[in-house]
Amino acid sequence: LEIDVITGTASEDVLLGDQEDNLIFGLDGGDVLDGAAGDDVLVGGLGNDIMTGGSGGDIFDFNEFDTSTPSGGTDHITDFNVDEDVLDLRDIIDLSGNDTISDWLDVTVVGSDTVVTITDLDAGNTHTIILDGVTNLGTVGTVDDLITANVILAPDDGTGIA
């Protein structure tokens, strides 16, 4: 098993994977990440990023809030496939109080896109992930259903869902 690791800089980067499995870190800046083929892990980092997993089952990993503005960042995923791709939100959701996953997450279809909004209940910041061209995510059901189906990876809120 060969995994290529590609790491960006604090500036805006265009990071391109290949046919192998790739681990791509965008770091800071408004980056463009493209995994091409293979089962890739894409980590946009801070900034407004555009991510494309390409063919294969890809993981889009969100590991920190952009706290420079209350509205946080807005990332786009251009080719999310509900049957094989995953949003990993475990590192940015903190369920330390009586919060539930539904307190932190909102998933809505807006026009031809699905908008996933994560709200940091402690700091008040939000982060938006737009799944371009995806309207069938709502057919999977509620946020809890998306977690149960492993479309969204999130911390366990004590309900046994995550």
Where residue 159 falls among pLDDT bands split at 50, 70, 90?
A: low
> Which residue matches tokens 């997450």?
105
Return the closest-CA partner of residue 145 out of 81, 61, 82: 82
Strand 74-77 and strand 21-25: pairing?
unpaired
Dist CA 8 CA 144 (whole Å):
33
Residue boundaries of the structural domains of the chain: 3-153
Mean pLDDT, all residues of the chain: 87
Percent of the chain with pLDDT over 70: 89
Q: What is the pLDDT of residues 73-126, one digit of tens each?
A: 899 999 999 899 999 999 888 887 778 888 889 998 899 999 999 998 888 888
